[in-house]
Every structure is written in structure tokens, then in C-alpha cells.
Amino acid sequence: MAKEFDVCVIGSGPGGYVAAIRASQLGFKTAIVEKRFLGGVCLNIGCIPTKALLRSAEVIETVSHASDYGVDVKEFSPNFEGMIKRSRGVADKMSKGVQFLMKANKIEVLNGTGVFKSNKELAIQDEKGKEQETVKAKHFIVATGARPRQLPNLEIDGEMIIDSEKAMQLDKQPKKMVIIGAGAIGVEFAYFYNSIGTEVTLVELQKTLVPVEDKDVGKELGKIYKKKGINIFTESSVEKVEKKGKGVKATIKTKKGTEEVEADVVLSAVGVTGNIEDIGLEKAGVKTEKGAIKVDMSTYKTDADGIYAIGDVIGAPWLAHKASHEATVCVEQLAGENPHPINYNNIPGCTYCEPQIASVGMTEEQAKEEGYDVMVGKFPFSASGKASGLGHEEGFVKVVFDSKYGEWLGCHMIGSHVTELIAEAVVARDLETTGHEIISAVHPHPTMSEAVMEAVAEAYGEGVHLGSKPKKK
């Protein structure tokens, strides 16, 4: 006999578990289906454990430059196994936290793979595909997340070519590594492995690193990474990977010809693709488009009655915080509330390499392509007293405004822990704050956050710390 619920969520990542908790809070009898581990990719093999590894890299880098701060450190060395162990500990703690939240909110956890039999019924299957039980629900929410995308000519085998999950749990530190793709995942792992002594080669198909970011940010990161000793190939691609002895040989096609690079392992970091296969979407009448579930972006309703989808399975941006917000909006609508719709033009992106990268809104190039007459302000952290004191003068804050109405079109940062600064721009844009309101808001001194106000002042020709000439009004 099938179990019956008001809401059944499939997948327990940042979208799924938030949806389940909010549904329970609003009085729905709720179940959540998970085939692997509560918390999904983000908490277990994604966002959280990688940030723990990156923190270890930051500590190594700080100790390496201890003499710059007047501190003498005689002996130290990276403990790769210890770093991996700490990272797994952090991930396990967070996953257990989700387990606690499920119990606290009286959410029934169903272990297995959810496969639709119809739009009203879901089968829970074990690892061998055998049906264990069935679930009926008034509302199903698909939040099955995403997995690393594979290049057709470079299949991930877990040995020669690995994905991000394997990269954060290697048994032994590689001496040499080739990373394909310089998006967020690629540059984060490049920073981590370079910091602990691995020789890293980073290959990117586009002209700059982190190509979705403002070009100035990508160029700046490229300069910094080259100083760190990372080998960078832009406008290049890995054509093939061959086994050579105990390692591999990667053939890289560049603008100038072909290069061959030997390494212990190749990390494929070319993005993700939604988990929409083998869960019975066709039987349920759920339509997909370009590898994603097709939904109404205001309600998250699919073409099938009673089925909704959120997070990575409905497409870019593939971000945990975006999935969590979609979860809340989706469930609150089911409860008959009137949630504020998500502004998809105001979702921040963060990359946790060092220096960190954070952005929201349009790049300068995008704004010009949209026909805006822009005002651009840029403030380097080299002119920041706090950044100088911290010993992190690299990077800048860049802002883009519409000169006609003063709309804040975009904000782009690269620098130490700038992911903690971007929320000011997100809130300001959401409230339609003007540049002058940012300038007149007193920012504490000395802080890194002053750079936001200083960049805005530069855009308006009112900056006082760079010797800039006032702009004509």
C-alpha cells in the first residue's frame, strides 16, 4: 500500500531539504526522497567540503608569508591527508545537521531513488532498481540536482580523468595536475592544489579565466595565478589524454599549436548537467528542454499536474542559494501565500579561490550590449588601508551604473574574502538604491567594505583617494 503525503520532495540538496522544511513549517505532511546522502552534493561533495579545503590552502599561504608579518616560522609542511580528513569532517557535520532538521520538522526520509510511475505516484527503488515502496502525494517537487558534465572525447574514468568529487578525496597528493575548465570549480581547485605544492596547468577555452565574470576580473585573476606559478592556457582545449607510465599525457590545442603536458591526473571541471534521466519524467508527463526540466519560472510548475521542479534541474545558474530561494517560493505558493518572486537578474555569484571573486548583475560589456550609456567606477584594494594592513592588496571593486537614471547595473569584485561584501550590492539593487545613496551611507573605516563606496564614488566622479578628476555634470 502506498504511503500518502501532501508534499513529496525528490532530492535533499539545498533546494530539496529547504523545500521539505518549509513545507512542514506550513502544515504539509511531508516526505523527502534521497538516494545517497542528506544535504546533496553541496553539503557532502561540493560547496562545503571544498571551502574547507580552500581554508587549508589559505592557512598554508599565510604561514608561507609569515615573515611578511614579522613572524618567524621555522618549519611547516602541508598535510594532504589531514586536509582531506578535516574537509570530510566538516561535510559530515553539516549532513548530520540536515538529518537533525528532518527529525525536528517531522519529515519522513525515504532512502532510495525516486522514479515516477505517473504524475500521482512515485516508486522508491534500491540500488539495483528494485521497487521497495510507493508514494502518493498531492504535490511532488523534483530537486535532484546536477552532476559534473563530461566532454564527449574525455570521459571521466576516476583514474586518468577525474571529476570534482574525486579531486576533493584523492588518497595521495598529485605532483602534477591538469585542470580542464577555468570556471568556479576549475579555479578553486587550481588555487588549492597550487597552494600545497602541486604543479598545476589550467586550460580554458575562452579568452580569460572565469569567463562568465567581467573581463577585468578574469584578466586580473590570470595575472595573479601566473605569479603563483600556475601554468595557464587560454583559448585552448585538451584534445586527448593518454596513459603514460603511472601518469597521463594531455595534448593541448592552443592558438600557437599543440602542447603536450605530463601529469599524474587530469581534472575535468567543465560545468554540470541536471539529473533528469531515469526518474520517470516521461511517464509523469514532465517535459524537458535542452537538458533541463521545463517549468513556469514564477511558480516552478511543470507541464504535469501536481509536479514542480527547482534548482539545478531547471537550468542555470547552478547555485545553491538560487535553489534554496526557489524552494521557499515554490512551497509558499502551494500554501496559498504570496511570496516575493525571485529576480533572476539579481542573483550573486561567488568563487572561493584566493583572491575570491563575487559579482551580481551585468558586466560592463553586457551593459553596453544592452544599449546603456554606462558610468564605471573602479577602486583597487591597493588603495585600501584595511587591505594593506591585512597584506592582501590584490584585486578591486568595479561598479557599473546607467548614466541616464542612475540604475546600479552591476558590481564585480576580486580580492580577499570579497564574497562577504557582495551582499551590499545585492540588497542595494533589490531596493533600487542610487549611487548617491551608497556614497552618503557612512561605511566603517578601516574596512574592506569601504571599497564598494569608493568604487561608486569613482563612477560618479566624487572619489577622493585615487586622485581622479571630477566628471562633468
Q: What is the pLDDT of residues 119-148, one digit of tens each?
A: 999 999 998 889 999 999 999 999 999 999
User: pLDDT value at position 426?
Assistant: 98
User: In this model, does residue 366 exceed pLDDT 70?
Assistant: yes
Residue 337 is assigned to a ligand binding site:
no
User: In this model, does residue 110 exceed pLDDT 60?
Assistant: yes
Report the alpha-carbon distance of residue 394 to residue 167 in Å, rounded: 27
User: In this model, does residue 23 exceed pLDDT 70?
Assistant: yes
What dihedral angle (degrees, nearest 10) is formed by the CA atoms of 457, 459, 462, 465? 70
User: pLDDT value at position 50?
Assistant: 95
Residue 51 is assigned to a ligand binding site:
yes
Q: How confident is the model at residue 246 (pLDDT cuts 50, 70, 90)?
A: confident
Q: How much is the pTM?
A: 0.94
Instruction: Report pLDDT digits (tens) over 46-61.
Output: 899 999 999 999 999 9
Report the alpha-carbon distance of residue 257 to residue 358 in Å, rounded: 34
- Judge whether 415 and 359 are in contact, CB under 8 Å: no
User: In this model, does residue 173 exceed pLDDT 60?
Assistant: yes
Query: What average pLDDT score do residues 252-259 get?
Result: 94
Residue 186 is assigned to a ligand binding site:
yes
Residue 184 is assigned to a ligand binding site:
yes
Measured between alpha carbons, how far apart are the two ends of the chain, in Å? 74
Active site residue 445: yes
Total residue count of the chain as it appears in this document: 473
Residue 114 is assigned to a ligand binding site:
yes
Q: What grid cell was written down for 286?
A: 514532465
Q: How confident is the model at residue 365 (pLDDT cuts 50, 70, 90)?
A: very high
Of the given ranges (107-116, 163-172, 304-313, 460-469), which has the lowest mean pLDDT?
460-469
Q: What grid cell was written down for 81?
A: 591527508
| DSSP letter for each residue of 14-64 | TTHHHHHHHHHHTT--EEEEESS-TTHHHHHHSHHHHHHHHHHHHHHHHHH
- Nearest Cα to 358, choosing from 423, 450, 438? 423
Q: What grid cell was written down for 310?
A: 527547482
C-alpha dist (Å) from residue 310 to 22, 68, 255, 292: 14, 48, 40, 10
pLDDT above 70 as % of the chain: 99
Residue 218 is assigned to a ligand binding site:
no
- Judge whether 355 and 394 are in contact, CB under 8 Å: yes
Residue 181 is assigned to a ligand binding site:
yes
Residue 187 is assigned to a ligand binding site:
yes
Report the alpha-carbon distance of residue 195 to residue 57 in Å, rounded: 6
User: pLDDT value at position 153?
Assistant: 87
User: pLDDT value at position 112?
Assistant: 96
Work out the mean pLDDT of the chain and round it to a whole number: 95
User: pLDDT value at position 465?
Assistant: 85
User: In this model, does residue 468 exceed pLDDT 90?
Assistant: no
Q: How confident is the model at residue 472 (pLDDT cuts 50, 70, 90)?
A: low
User: pLDDT value at position 470?
Assistant: 67
User: pLDDT value at position 464?
Assistant: 87
Residue 422 is assigned to a ligand binding site:
no
Instruction: Report pLDDT digits (tens) over 389-426.
Output: 999 999 999 999 999 999 999 999 999 999 999 999 99
Which residues have a Cβ under 8 Å from the Cβ of 465 and sit 6 or more positions away? 379, 383, 454
What structural domains does the chain harbor? 3-148+273-334 (3.50.50.60), 161-270 (3.50.50.60), 355-459 (3.30.390.30)
User: In this model, does residue 220 exceed pLDDT 80?
Assistant: yes
pLDDT above 90 as % of the chain: 91
User: In this model, does residue 32 exceed pLDDT 70?
Assistant: yes
Measured at the alpha carbon of residue 347, what is the angle toward residues 342 and 351, in degrees to the nearest 5? 155
Instruction: Report pLDDT digits (tens) over 227-245.
Output: 999 999 999 999 999 988 8
C-alpha dist (Å) from residue 218 to 56, 211, 354: 24, 7, 13
User: pLDDT value at position 471?
Assistant: 66
Residue 304 is assigned to a ligand binding site:
no
Q: What grid cell was written down for 473?
A: 555634470
- In three-state secondary structure terms, 438 is helix
Residue 161 is assigned to a ligand binding site:
no
Which residues have a Cβ under 8 Å from the Cβ of 298 and sit 6 or more positions away? 341
As a three-state string, the secondary structure of 402-434 is ECCCCCEEEEEEEECCHHHCHHHHHHHHHCCCC
Residues 65, 340, 436, 445: which is the catalytic one? 445
Query: What average pLDDT score do residues 350-369 get?
Result: 97
What dihedral angle (degrees, nearest 10) is formed by the CA atoms of 432, 433, 435, 441? -170
Q: How confident is the model at residue 466 (pLDDT cuts 50, 70, 90)?
A: confident
